[in-house]
């Protein structure tokens, strides 16, 4: 694990993160950003793809940083216990190298999903709204599967999936809808909008990985 301040002298924190992520032996290091900077949405999204958590320096931020570190240090054991039967602690060959589009307006969900999927060797492209999802899906080659949150402002997940299905290249793309809670009729509504499958939050990692494997190898 490494805790990084974005405002480092000489080499910026952004450069340190890029160096770590581009170094094979350090790529799996859990990174926590601790910064006094006000981050815009683009910077938050960039950090979500490369780090596990961001703590902004403010009142009681030292306590929050301590809690984040404690939580991350305990996660490997929990994740290993939860997914041992699925992955044995190693990247899944059925998932490694596959490109996944994650669409969710909650930066915390993006952090969690990105960390989980990258541990399986997947390439994650994360966006925080439906319009950006359509642009990425249209322009990005070789997307293998998409995870789309249903409850998003402006263009919700149902509309996003419906528009995605209208793009010829995405006609057969596996799309998994992420719902806030399992409600009667959710599955039918998701399938009608264009989803291939759906999973309710909070997401069970073993269940999601099993679902991804089924769609990517079936």
200 vs 71, which has greater pLDDT? 200
Encoding tokens for residue 194?
């264009």
Per residue in 73-112, pLDDT (tens digit) is 765 443 443 444 344 557 788 999 999 999 999 888 888 8
Whether the Cβ atoms of residue 31 and residue 68 lie closer than 8 Å to each other: no
The CATH number corresponding to 2-86 among 3.30.1330.10, 3.40.605.10, 3.40.50.2300, 3.40.190.10 equals 3.40.50.2300
- Collapsed DSSP state (helix, strand, coil) of residue 178: strand
pTM over 0.85: no
Phi, psi of 57 (to 5 degrees): -70, 120
Across the beta sheet with 175-179, what order do the strands follow? 123-127, 99-103, 143-149, 175-179, 197-200
pLDDT digits (tens, 9 = 90+) for 29-80: 888 888 887 777 778 777 777 777 777 777 677 777 787 777 667 654 434 4
Residue ranges of the chain assigned to CATH 3.40.50.2300 = 2-86, 91-217
pLDDT digits (tens, 9 = 90+) for 140-174: 989 999 999 998 988 999 999 999 999 999 999 99
Pick the CATH number of 91-217 from 3.40.50.720, 3.40.50.2300, 3.40.366.10, 3.10.20.70: 3.40.50.2300
Long-range contacts of 165-168 (CB under 8 A, 24+ apart): 165/194, 167/134, 167/137, 167/138
């Amino acid at each position: 694990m490494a805790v990084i301040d974005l405002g480092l002298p000489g080499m910026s924190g952004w450069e340190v993160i890029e160096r770590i992520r581009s170094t094979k032996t350090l790529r799996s290091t859990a990174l926590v950003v601790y910064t006094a900077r006000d981050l815009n949405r683009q910077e938050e999204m960039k950090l979500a793809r490369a780090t596990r958590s961001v703590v902004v320096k403010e009142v009681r931020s030292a306590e929050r940083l301590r809690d984040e570190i404690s939580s991350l240090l305990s996660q490997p054991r929990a994740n290993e216990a939860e997914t041992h039967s699925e992955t044995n602690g190693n990247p899944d060959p059925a998932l490694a190298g596959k490109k996944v589009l994650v669409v969710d307006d909650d930066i915390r969900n993006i952090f969690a999903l990105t960390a989980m999927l990258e541990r399986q060797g997947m390439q994650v492209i994360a966006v925080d709204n439906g319009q950006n999802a359509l642009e990425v899906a249209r322009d990005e080659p070789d997307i293998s599967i998409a995870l789309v949150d249903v409850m998003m402002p402006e263009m919700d997940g149902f509309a996003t999936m419906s528009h995605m299905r209208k793009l010829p290249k995405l006609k057969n793309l596996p799309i998994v809808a992420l719902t806030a809670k399992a409600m009667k009729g959710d599955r039918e509504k998701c399938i009608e909008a264009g989803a291939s499958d759906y999973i309710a939050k909070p997401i069970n990692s073993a269940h999601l990985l099993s679902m991804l494997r089924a769609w990517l190898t079936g």
